[in-house]
Amino acid sequence: MTQDDRTFGMLSHLLGIFTGFLGPLIIFFVKGKESPFVRDQSAEALNFQITLIIAYLVSGILTLILIGIVLLFVVAVGSIIFMIIATLAANRGEAYRYPINIRMVK
């Protein structure tokens, strides 16, 4: 595994903080064919971003009964923590798996 592989694996997770699913999606299609590590980590980051969209939608609906306000906060803080942990792991060359993730993209 090269330094470029680790860098793009790291960027897959890091860009999720700033661009949502677009950053991991672009890396998945542009660099995913060149490296199995980058493909794996960009797919994992993309799946996590899709899972977050679902979590935000459910939390948004649940704001009608007030519990959603707490859930929105928990999802936001938890997602940033998990993405930072994933970014650091990918930078070390470790394949990271999010503990809560719906794996749709393989």
Distance CA 3, CA 67 (A): 44
Total number of domains constituting the chain: 1
In this structure, is residue 99 part of a structural domain?
Answer: no
In this structure, is residue 97 part of a structural domain?
Answer: no
pLDDT score recorded for residue 1: 78
Confidence of residue 53 (pLDDT cuts 50, 70, 90): very high
In this structure, is residue 100 part of a structural domain?
Answer: no
In this structure, is residue 103 part of a structural domain?
Answer: no
Q: What domain range is 83 assigned to?
A: 3-91
In this structure, is residue 106 part of a structural domain?
Answer: no
Mean pLDDT score across all residues of the chain? 93
pLDDT score recorded for residue 70: 94
pLDDT score recorded for residue 39: 95
Distance CA 83, CA 60 (A): 21
In this structure, is residue 105 part of a structural domain?
Answer: no
For residue 45, the one-letter residue type is A
What are 97-103's contacts with CB under 8 Å, separation 24+? 97/44, 98/44, 98/47, 98/48, 98/51, 100/51, 101/44, 101/47, 101/48, 101/51, 102/47, 102/50, 102/51, 102/54, 103/43, 103/44, 103/47
Instruction: Give the residue-averaged pLDDT of 52-68.
Output: 93
Q: Which region, left, alpha or beta, applies to residue 29 given φ > 0 means left and ψ of -120 to 50 means alpha? A: alpha
